[in-house]
Structure 1
Amino acid sequence: MKIYTKGGDKGETQIYADKPLRLKKSADELECYGTLDELNAHTGMLSALLAEHSPGLLNEIQTALFQIGFAISATSQLSDQDLAKLELAIDNMQASLPAQSSFILPGGSVAASQAHICRTVARRAERCLVRLTEQHQVADLNLSYINRLSDYFYVLARKINLDCGTAELRL
């Protein structure tokens, strides 16, 4: 099977919502899919940077991002358990962190910096999903998960810096 189909050479592509839709590649739906894909790639980079210390949750997050990509179709398999697992991971990491009394600048170690990039892309993906709710039905769970995911990456960045002894840059 060839990787290219030539079907998108004129700036359109097909997606599957409740029915197949032919859309311009500039459509909000494709912007959202692209942002989720970008976040998935950044999450993969973070997992690679953490190597053997990588929380197994990052692979699950990548799968969940793929599921959110089906947000406007009836095939998403994201579950309440996925959200609960993310919230538990946030709570567990946050319990080991010093209290935060000022703003923290993104940065620190390379892996923590990558976690901050994931956080900002997750915020953009959330904005894209919210925009999609104006045109399609998007399950609330997808919005909750992507919102919580940016919190997860923020807390993960802080935890990575703490674990590797890198000071946080505070304002």
Structure 2
Amino acid sequence: MVVLNKIYTRTGDKGDTALGNGERIAKHDTRVEAYGTADELNCFVGVARLHAEGETDEALSRIQNDLFDLGADLCRPDMEKDAEAEYPPLRMADAQVDRLEAEIDVMNANLEPLRSFILPGGAELAAHLHVCRTVARRAERLATALGTRESVNAAAVTYLNRLSDWFFVAARVANNGGKDDVLWIPGANR
């Protein structure tokens, strides 16, 4: 259980922060960038939810919770020491990826295949979902960069990859089932 009775602690005033295992590292470390970007994405999902209803809003709510799980996973290095931890660290699970894939398949079933790339925009919700898509891709790039020097849970990286796909398909759904997608016209303004 998390208890926060004091919001500022002054422990990070010199540019470092504590990870989930208590280790202190620089706030600009790739690990902090990765889970910080997941937090940023969560904020953008919250904005998108202002324009979502029904199942889309419910799915975005699940994604927000998953993004906290993702942050908890990424802020805890040393996966090989998980068994030794006093409390088992929270790690992303393949089931979370599977759920995204199932949701993508349901959303995509009624969409016409794309014949062109699409531009971010259209309906307000679609535009917000495209922002979420690009921030998810940035979080994924940071997580894979981190993975070049430290262990990173493969399910976390896969989740981010699939999540950006989810946002893309959901944006098409928000654009009147793809009918209001804004198509890219190569060289249109030459």
Give the structure 1 partner of residue 103 of structure 2. 89
The residue type paired with residue 28 of structure 2 is S
Give the structure 2 partner of residue 127 of structure 1. 141
In the alignment, structure 1 segments of 5+ residues that lack a partner are none
Deviation at 1:48, TM superposition (A): 2.0
Query: Where does structure 1 differ by over 4 angstroms across 4 or more consecutive aligned residues?
Result: none
Any conservation in 2 of the 1:161–1:167 contact (CA below 8 Å)?
Answer: yes
Aligned to 2:47, the other structure's residue is in SS state: helix
- Which has the higher Rg, Structure 1 or Structure 2? 2
Q: Distance in 1 between matches of 2:91 and 2:16?
A: 27
Deviation at 1:166, TM superposition (A): 6.3
The residue type paired with residue 168 of structure 1 is D
Give the structure 1 partner of residue 187 of structure 2. none
RMSD, matched Cα? 1.7
Q: Distance in 1 between matches of 2:9 and 2:61?
A: 29
Any conservation in 1 of the 2:133–2:165 contact (CA below 8 Å)?
Answer: yes
Any conservation in 2 of the 1:48–1:54 contact (CA below 8 Å)?
Answer: no
Give the structure 2 partner of residue 14 of structure 1. 18
Is 1:44 the counterpart of 2:46? The answer is yes
The residue type paired with residue 183 of structure 2 is R
- Give me the identity figure in percent: 40
Any conservation in 2 of the 1:104–1:170 contact (CA below 8 Å)?
Answer: yes
Superposition pairs of residues 57-72 of structure 1, within 5 angstroms: 57-72=59-74
Give the structure 2 partner of residue 155 of structure 1. 169
Q: Distance in 2 between matches of 1:94 and 1:104?
A: 15
Q: Distance in 2 between matches of 1:92 and 1:56?
A: 15
Is 1:168 the counterpart of 2:181? The answer is yes
Query: How many aligned positions are there?
Result: 168
Give the structure 2 partner of residue 5 of structure 1. 9
Q: Deviations over 1:7-55 (max 9, x none)?
A: 1111111112xx4221111111111121000001111111221144634
The residue type paired with residue 90 of structure 1 is I
The two structures have a TM-score, normalised by structure 2, of: 0.82
In structure 2, do the counterparts of structure 1 residues 66 and 10 end up closer, same or farther at CA, with 3 Å as the change threshold? Answer: same
Is 1:105 the counterpart of 2:107? The answer is no
Give the structure 2 partner of residue 29 of structure 1. 31
Q: Distance in 1 between matches of 2:151 and 2:40?
A: 23
Aligned to 1:13, the other structure's residue is in SS state: strand
